[in-house]
Structure 1
Amino acid sequence: MTLEHYISKLLFSNDCVVVPGFGAFVARSFSAELNSATQMLLPPSRRLSFQPGLRTDDGLLRGAIAKREQRNEDVIRLEISDIVSFWHKQLHKGERLRLEGIGMFYIDREGNIQFKPQVDVNFDMAHFGLGVFRASPLVTVNEEARVIPLHQRKDRSRTPLWRVAAVAAGVSGLLFMGGSKSDLDIADNLAGFMDLISWSDSEEAEISEPVAEEAPKAEAVAAEEVAIPEVEITSTPVAATPVQKGTYYVIVGSFVEKANADDLYRELKSKGFSPEVLPFDGRFNKVAISSFQTRTDATTALRSYKNDVQRGAWIYRK
């Protein structure tokens, strides 16, 4: 028998579980917390504290083990006493006692039992499965404006000086040769030089300059508004079924919000089950998939529901 296993299971549905001769585990609700120093985020949960002064046997732990294992409660009482004696011996030797799913115990210098709960276990059924995680800070990266080359064509409207000088020298040479050339020859030569200058002036050079990229201007487009009729969806709340004392309920959902319980009720109803929403107990709205007069019948049905409907189903009795 693993005693800490039964203690952990009972803490999901009970606020206090007493271990006779050792102390009591008390579960209290806490909202989400963020540790700014470690950036650790703790989800909403029910956390444990330990009260070593509460040692009187209230029968809860003993009865749960006896029903689960179908054994005599007197035998269970003796086994619990043996386990507690072993725990005390281990602590008084100066060793640390670790209970899986619950936490760690040790004795301080004053001889008092100290308890450190296991923070990664959440006993809150409404937030079951949410673990502790580290929040990473966001890093802002500034993007620089990109510069892309843009080919620009530039006309060369002026004739270079070296071409003008060459033309002038050619004209002077022709004039100097005046006796050997006719006026017609001079005109023809000048025409050739002018063609060369005219052809050079018509050339175009491509110059690459860096130009900052500009975002395209968005054009405003007038969208035609279409009137959409609003459809109001209303859901009738499910009436809570009074809890019958002595009745065993197989619970498949436990919610803080009544609307969530109603949704699960309708889903189960559509699948052919006969569910019930139990009255709000101050913390949760429980949804039962069926109810039984004996624990034996409820336990038998529980195995089937765990396989077919909800693995986390459990038995509740008022």
Structure 2
Amino acid sequence: MTLATYINDLLYRYDCVIIPDFGGFVTNRIGAKVNKYTHTFSAPTKQVTFNSLLKHNDGLLANYIASSENISFEKASTAISLSVIKWQNELQSKAVEIENLGVLSLNEEKQIVFEPNTSVNYLTESFGLSTVESAAISRYKQQVKPLVTIVAKDEKKKVPVFIKYAATAAILLTLGFSAVNGYQQNQQKKILAKQEKAIQKKIQSATFVISNPLPTINLNVAKEKEVSKPFHIIAGAFQYTENAEKKVKQLRAKGFNAKIIGVNKWGLTQVSFNSYTNRTEATNNLYTIQDTISKDAWLLIEK
């Protein structure tokens, strides 16, 4: 079993994949980029980083391996632990390359340093998009000639007399029309102001009597939306909806806030013990359920 294969699969769907007792691979979205030196356009991508402080087992990786390999949750957890021990031993003497993810190594302070593999894009929205190269744009530096013909000084002086008189007459006519239009606009404003005052007086003196009042209408105010609870402790997945509904009734009889949370990609109806708003509370309850009720319970993080 190659652990890197399952980590790569989960990074396409989740922003964080934790390897228990080792660290977590976290993705951050980066928008499209333009390289002005190579004249290339790169599609949006997910940048992968490594955080050695994320060591707490959230059950995501082990559950995915168990469902893919058709083995128990305990066997999957054991396989992960063996891979982690192997990586830790190899890091003492050399760098460890994880397929498609990148290279892990130790610095002088014995801290893990991660160098990601930038050739793999975990952003599903950019699937099939590759780097595009564009030809360089050359600038036209030749001086542009003016479109308006420059008239010589001698030609300006030779303006016919009748053109001067025509221009003067046009200016006087324009001024005359402007004065008339201004006077008409002022008169219209005065008339409208008088009409508005008359209407206001009628409204103030009017008395409105309603003989048949409308009945009272009761409005039901909609409740606020429920707080998002993206963390679900899964009790099982069923091929038939009837079996899923029976499971919900059994769990509710035991005091759980069980419910059907939907159908997964394999067409199975998933039933949860309970749902939570934060990851810490969900993880603590998961451990309690695994110790007391069902060892196969696992945590589903909904996007």
Structure 2-normalised TM-score?
0.46
Query: Higher helix share goes to which structure?
Result: 2
Structure 1-normalised TM-score?
0.44
